[in-house]
Amino acid sequence: MSKFVYFFGAGKAEGNGEMKDILGGKGAGLAEMTRIGLPVPGGFTITTEACDYFLKRDRRYPPELAAQVSANLKRLERVTGKKLGDARDPLLVSVRSGSARSMPGMMETILNLGLNEKSVEALARNTKNERFAYDAYRRFVQMYSTVVIGLPKEELEDKLRSLKSRLGIKLDTEVPADGWRGLVTEYKAHFRKATGKDFPEDPNEQLWGAIGAVFTSWMAEKAVTYRRVEKITGLLGTAVNVMQMVFGNTGDASGTGVCFTRDPSSGEKEFYGDFLLNAQGEDVVAGIRTPMPLKEMAKRMPRVYKQLERVRGILERHYRDMQDMEFTVEEGTLYMLQTRVGKRAPTASFKIAVDMANEKLISKNEALLRIKSEDIERLFYPVIDASFPRAELDKRKIAQGINAVPGAASGAAIFTAEEAEAWAARGEKVILVRRETSPEDVGGMFVAQGILTATGGKTSHAAVVARGWGKCCIVGCEKLDIDYDRKQMTANGRLIKQGQWITIEGGDGLVFEGKIPLVDPTLPPAYFTLMKWADQIRRLRVRTNADTPQDSRKAREMGAEGIGLCRTEHMFFKDFEHPERSHERQLAIQEMILADNHEARGKALAKLLPFQRRDFTGIFKAMDGCPVTIRLLDPPLHEFVPHERAKQEELAKKIGIDVETVARRVEQLREANPMLGHRGCRLSITYPEILEMQVRAIIEAAVECQKQKVKVLPEIMHPLTLDRRELRILEQGTRRVADEIIKRAGIKLDYLVGTMIELPRAALLADQIAEVAEFFSFGTNDLTQTVMGLSRDDAGRFLPDYVDEKKAGIFSADPFQSLDVAGVGMLMKWAIEKGRSTRSKLKIGICGEHGGDSESVKFCHRVGMDYVSASPYRVPIARLAAAHAVLEEKEEKRRGAPRRMG
């Protein structure tokens, strides 16, 4: 027979702190506190397995549950010496939810259960406090009616309000016993009218009603949304905790509070919390009365405070982590009602982990494991000022999209990249709002505070570029209706005209009207300590994806040990050192594309050469001796030329050719499926002169640096390769140009020639490709796209359905964000093995967006890659994940169960 109920009380518990999965966090905490001798009221926990059964079988309970609940209730009655619903000495219980992962406020609670017309009299008699007894009763009737039956809260609260106004009082605490008694009668009449039934007197009926309501609340909209947002998956449901009620509202020797063993905002080792005299727990949480700081409790109840401080020490030592605790004091006796690992601000996460390691409460390795990638992510971005009123924020919300890059930004909504640049040049802050972005927009994106697009997913152009800059970005905001002609957008019926301010919050993908105050984060010293510890144990190297000297410097600051991907195409649009001269290089690349013969193309390329050379020199210097992987031109050429007539005319005039030639050439470049078209190294096969110019720029820059005593390690990378012979042609072309320059310079310069692996064919034939390539870099954005047959730019429209647990729930995460280990990962593993079978020292890395995703980085460690490459702001995340990978591997070895590679 399955066990669905676990008892705790009178110093004994059937469960323990390890059983969170089936007892939920609260149940496991109560069991553990009971075991270690802390004062916990008696009770029992109904497991999450029972909830799972209930939800899967059309709200029926497991057959053995009734008997188990009844036996545990009897045991509780024995331990407490009281009986549920008794007319002489009634037991009252609370019925609370509790899931394995904390979901604060998302599910239901019923207090004071067991009260009825008879037991309330007994409670009044026994406590000699009629007012207290009827206050408890009205709270119960109110909670039961709303939570279990689903009557609207407002209707009951109206009755309370009108009672107080009849009595001419403001506070609940001023309502006399008779007032509460009358209110109970009113509530019950309301109940009868609304449901056609009497309010249940039978405590058993009350109990089962409450159990069902708590289970059902697991699937309430807010709970489901919370799990989605917090990426909580794989749980069975909520447990139900039935526990003897203790009362913090019996007078001034009683009270209730919430406290943390350390300050959850700063991480300081200070006992921190709120306390209310003569109150029930819900009063603290609901904010009906303003609580006093915990320090105040030390003055009002010195003995109990001392006891609570002792409990604080015991719990923190026992759990070896910061705890968030709820307690109640009933007539001078302390009861612990909950303990759980406390949620904390990102800064506090680092401070607490490092302090606890220094205090020897945990090891350095444990401290590392305490930090999650989100803690790092959240540390770096500006944030909406927490003091900004919540209600006002809700009022200003106009839409929600996909949260591509967290942080917040405010600025004037601008709908074209050009105008964004013009506004920014005037010193205005802008948010670039586009249906989607393309490389042409890179200038406008660069100057914008944040980027908002109506389409696209997390690896769309906008998201990738914004992430590289650590710039707040929301994509796939489908509710936006952008009208470029009228320079305006509408979202959920609200109109925003160009220039009007908006604020975007990339953590949740929210768009607000107007300017909302933002605050800058500061990096705490503990962050640097912890990252040093991570670097000491990781095996994987961490590089960065960077295209400019500025990004390279930023990435070095973030701890990058080289560049794993320098996308050269961005350089054709933006002069990052001299932005005012960007048009020169734009014109040169457009001229090159429009050229209809070798000679004209050569002339245009000659103009581009010095720009690229200067960019590479800057990058080599910024990376000062670290390896730099430079990828040759990758995007389809149509992305570089204008598609609107007016712009084509403008371009034709600048180059001195007629507009029809421009239009014809643009038309020739049109492809039905450009991502599978004439792009990547295929461009260099067709136009070897592009390759020649780019290799020349790279090697000449390297020679120049070397002459200036700057060490350089260039790695020239060909994108989208699919064949050994194809790569051989490119490699020979590369070496011919490079070797000649080096020879002429009369110096020794080492460089590597390698390839991206971003097509299934390249992965399958990796042993052949490794005959030519000196290194592989997995381009997992394209590899995911081509292995899964999912468009990286469009899949955002339906992929959320594949991840949503309420819909299909096919993937546990977006495969463009977290590597599809089962499919794409298998192919990568194959490619690594094949590649190294040909060339045992083959250097292997990853430069797709997955290089900055923790779970994917851990996979890269397991399959034996040499490095991962992430956008600058994700470098610390990759460093930490690489350390976690080592620790997890150690743990698996210790347990003797090596994990499957993929």
Nearest CA to 713 among 791, 834, 825, 630? 630
847, 860, 861, 884: the catalytic one is 847
Identity of the residue, 565 or 641, whose beta carbon is nearer to ligand PEP in the bound complex? 565
By a kind-dependent CB cut-off of 5 to 8 A, residue 847 interacts, out of ligand PEP, Mg ion, none, with ligand PEP
Contacting Mg ion (CB under 5 A), which of 257, 450, 506, 779? Answer: 779
Q: Smallest distance, Å, CB 720 to ligand PEP?
A: 8
Identity of the residue, 354 or 565, whose beta carbon is nearer to ligand PEP in the bound complex? 565
By a kind-dependent CB cut-off of 5 to 8 A, residue 440 interacts, out of ligand PEP, Mg ion, none, with none
Q: Smallest distance, Å, CB 534 to ligand PEP?
A: 24
Amino acid at 259: C
Q: How many residues bind Mg ion (CB under 5 A)?
A: 3
d(CA 902, CA 859): 7
Residue 849 within binding range of Mg ion, rule CB under 5 A: no
Identity of the residue, 756 or 880, whose beta carbon is nearer to Mg ion in the bound complex? 756
d(CA 284, CA 275): 7
Whether the CB-CB separation of 375 and 530 falls below 8 Å is answered with no
CA 686 to the chain's CA centroid: 43
CA 722 to the chain's CA centroid: 35
CB within 8 Å of 731: residues ≥ 6 apart: 718, 753, 772, 773
Cross-strand pairs, 489: 482, 496
The stretch among 40-48, 468-476, 584-592, 777-785 that binds Mg ion (CB under 5 A) is 777-785
d(CA 347, CA 511): 26
Q: Smallest distance, Å, CB 849 to ligand PEP?
A: 7
DSSP state letter for 2: -
Identity of the residue, 77 or 855, whose beta carbon is nearer to ligand PEP in the bound complex? 855
The token pair at 182 is 């009358």
Task: Mark 50-69 with x for binding to Mg ion (rule: CB under 5 A) and - for no binding.
Answer: --------------------
Identity of the residue, 345 or 463, whose beta carbon is nearer to ligand PEP in the bound complex? 463
Task: Mark 733-762 with x for binding to Mg ion (rule: CB under 5 A) and - for no binding.
Answer: -------------------------x----
Residue 283, phi then psi, degrees to nearest 5: -65, -30
d(CA 194, CA 657): 80
d(CA 254, CA 245): 13
Whether the CB-CB separation of 346 and 378 falls below 8 Å is answered with yes
Identity of the residue, 779 or 815, whose beta carbon is nearer to Mg ion in the bound complex? 779
The token pair at 274 is 């709120």
Task: Find the binding residues for Mg ion in span 163-192 (CB under 5 A).
Answer: none
Q: Smallest distance, Å, CB 458 to ligand PEP?
A: 12
Strand 383-384 and strand 518-519: pairing? Answer: antiparallel
d(CA 271, CA 723): 64
51, 190, 259, 461: the catalytic one is 461
Identity of the residue, 411 or 848, whose beta carbon is nearer to ligand PEP in the bound complex? 848
Q: Smallest distance, Å, CB 634 to Mg ion?
A: 6
d(CA 38, CA 338): 11
Sheet bearing 480-483, strands edge to edge: 480-483, 488-491, 494-497
CA atoms within 13 A on the CB side of 502: 34
Q: Smallest distance, Å, CB 675 to ligand PEP?
A: 9
Identity of the residue, 700 or 758, whose beta carbon is nearer to Mg ion in the bound complex? 758
Identity of the residue, 692 or 758, whose beta carbon is nearer to ligand PEP in the bound complex? 758
Whether the CB-CB separation of 245 and 139 falls below 8 Å is answered with no
d(CA 900, CA 644): 53
By a kind-dependent CB cut-off of 5 to 8 A, residue 565 interacts, out of Mg ion, ligand PEP, none, with ligand PEP
By a kind-dependent CB cut-off of 5 to 8 A, residue 694 interacts, out of ligand PEP, Mg ion, none, with none
Identity of the residue, 465 or 626, whose beta carbon is nearer to ligand PEP in the bound complex? 465
Interacting residue ranges for ligand PEP, rule: CB under 6 A: 464, 565, 567, 634, 758, 779-782, 847-848
Q: Smallest distance, Å, CB 731 to ligand PEP?
A: 20
- Burial pattern 817-833, b for ≥16 Cβ within 10 A else e, equals bbbbbeebbebbbbbbe
Residue 439 within binding range of Mg ion, rule CB under 5 A: no
Q: Smallest distance, Å, CB 798 to Mg ion?
A: 22
Q: Is 583 among the catalytic positions? A: no
Strand 563-567 and strand 541-545: pairing? Answer: parallel
Task: Indicate the SS3 state at residue 346.
Answer: helix
Identity of the residue, 27 or 779, whose beta carbon is nearer to ligand PEP in the bound complex? 779
Residue at token pair 């390690």? 713
Whether the CB-CB separation of 145 and 156 falls below 8 Å is answered with yes
Whether the CB-CB separation of 372 and 353 falls below 8 Å is answered with no
Identity of the residue, 453 or 780, whose beta carbon is nearer to Mg ion in the bound complex? 780
Task: Indicate the SS3 state at residue 723.
Answer: coil
d(CA 502, CA 538): 42
d(CA 360, CA 365): 11
Q: Smallest distance, Å, CB 459 to Mg ion?
A: 10
Whether the CB-CB separation of 651 and 591 falls below 8 Å is answered with no
d(CA 232, CA 813): 11
CB within 8 Å of 275: residues ≥ 6 apart: 255, 256, 257, 259, 284, 291, 292, 293, 294, 296, 297
By CB atoms closer than 10 A (0-12, 13-18, 19+), residue 69 is: buried
Identity of the residue, 616 or 816, whose beta carbon is nearer to ligand PEP in the bound complex? 816
Q: Smallest distance, Å, CB 276 to ligand PEP?
A: 55
Q: Is 598 among the catalytic positions? A: no
d(CA 180, CA 131): 7
Q: Which residue is nearest to Mg ion (CB)?
A: 782
Residue 782 within binding range of Mg ion, rule CB under 5 A: yes
The DSSP-derived string for 180-249 is HHHHHHHHHHHHHHHHSSPPP--HHHHHHHHHHHHHHGGGSHHHHHHHHHTT--S----EEEEEE---S-
Point out the residues that are catalytic.
461, 847
Binding residues vs Mg ion (CB under 5 A): 758, 779, 782
